[in-house]
Structure 1
Amino acid sequence: MTPLDITRSIDIKAPVEKVWAAITEPDLIAQWFGDTAEFDATPGASGAFGWRDHGGAFRIVVEHVDKPKTLVYRWARDFDVDPTPANSTVVRFDLTATEDGTRLDLLETGFEELADPQGAQSGNTEGWLAELGELVEFVESR
């Protein structure tokens, strides 16, 4: 890991299958992560996450899936461009069953390859704090 990597662990009072659905099914993703989602949890599949307030969609490519434990995708930092190592980061979700539900571990890497590594990492750190809070609220309220 590098100092720029983002790591987060959260506990969600819901079974792994319910959390997995929330991070892999487009209609559910769009209820906690942005406004729109095109997503297929298949390695090599392309998709996008959209935010109306930001005026565009961030394209993604799914890199690894081990249902219902691990999801890895690469997402572009700029709107409407295909992700490449020079313009994107890699997000990894690992889900583990716990006595009270699910532990979600998030790891985002690849910031050092970007034009503004510190700015991108700072922005995404704040973003994940908000988005993961929304994920917990969404899953636990369903």
Structure 2
Amino acid sequence: MGLGSIERRVHVDASPDVVFEVVSDPVHVQQWWPDEAHYDSTPGSPGDIVFGKAGERVVVGFEVVEVLPPRRFSFRWTQPAGEPAAIGNSFLVTFELEPAGDGTLLHMTETGFRERGWEAAVLEETYRDHEHGWDHHLARLAPYVAARLAGAR
């Protein structure tokens, strides 16, 4: 039973500078991932992201961990309300970017599933939910970047 981390690779037809902005700036993040994003893109900055599910607003804790433009952006999320994000109460997501021809290879990793201390069924359900979520949302990233670049011309 793996369930330790989720990894995805996405090629984006844009420079690392553009892709970094799209994965780190909340104005852009909310166009391809959550419905709302409220945080400053500086290490240690707390905030939240909001998903609309079944007519409800689900507010999720979010804290920026690392900002190394245009190479890496990482954050912790899903910590309980009012608690600082830490190992054991949140997931760590890292976006690593590398030039690839005329575009960028984005490598996303999410870790922290086993550290939550959940029973096997809860761990597996949460892991599968996040796998499905990343597959859905990361598929929206490259088209968003393409539309953004087309609008800038």
TM-score under structure 2 length normalisation? 0.83
Gaps of 5+ in 1: none
What is the number of equivalent residue pairs in this alignment? 140
Q: Pick from 32, 47, 58: which aligns with 2:60?
A: 58
Provide the rounded CA distance (Å) in 2 between the counterparts of 1:127 and 1:18. Answer: 23
* Greater Rg by CA: 2
Gaps of 5+ in 2: 149-153
Contact conserved, 1:4 with 1:118, CA < 8 A, in 2?
no
Q: RMSD value over aligned CA atoms?
A: 1.7
Structure 2 counterpart of 1:108:
110
Letter matched to residue 99 of structure 1: G
Structure 2 counterpart of 1:95:
97
Contact conserved, 1:24 with 1:39, CA < 8 A, in 2?
no
How far apart are residue 81 of structure 1 and its match? 5.1
Structure 1 counterpart of 2:70:
68
Contact conserved, 1:71 with 1:94, CA < 8 A, in 2?
yes
Determine what percentage of the aligned residue pairs are the same residue: 28
| Cα offsets for 1:15-73 (capped at 9, x unmatched) | 11111111111111111111100122211111111112252211111111111110111
TM-score under structure 1 length normalisation? 0.89
